[in-house]
Amino acid sequence: MRGSVSSQTDGRSGIGLLFLFALATLLVVLAVWALGALGGWWILGLAMVVHLVMTTAVLWGLARALSDRPEPTA
């Protein structure tokens, strides 16, 4: 089949990216919740680090998912 992509590879990549995005969102929300619950400004640094790490992980996962796609052949 010309220009087709394996549905198995496409599905794994999408589910993994969805899981990574959901995990990142959960961890960032928990870090912000901890900021409000503990009330100390010191936790703001931790919340920002969690946000930076999770943003980097999501962007890395997205780049990896896009690079895994084979080039369509004419």
Report residue 56's pLDDT band, with 50, 70 and 90 as the boundaries: very high
Tell me how crowded residue 54 is: count the other CB atoms within 10 A of its CB. 19
User: Is the model's pLDDT at 6 over the cut of 60?
Assistant: no
User: Is the model's pLDDT at 29 over the cut of 80?
Assistant: yes
Least-confidence region, from 6-10, 32-36, 47-51, 68-72: 6-10
User: Is the model's pLDDT at 12 over the cut of 70?
Assistant: no
**Integer Cα distance of 3 and 47 in angstroms:** 44
In the chain, where are the structural domains located? 10-67
pTM for the model stands at 0.65
Distances in Å between the Cα of 15 and the Cα atoms of 20, 29, 39, 48, 60 are 9, 21, 36, 26, 15
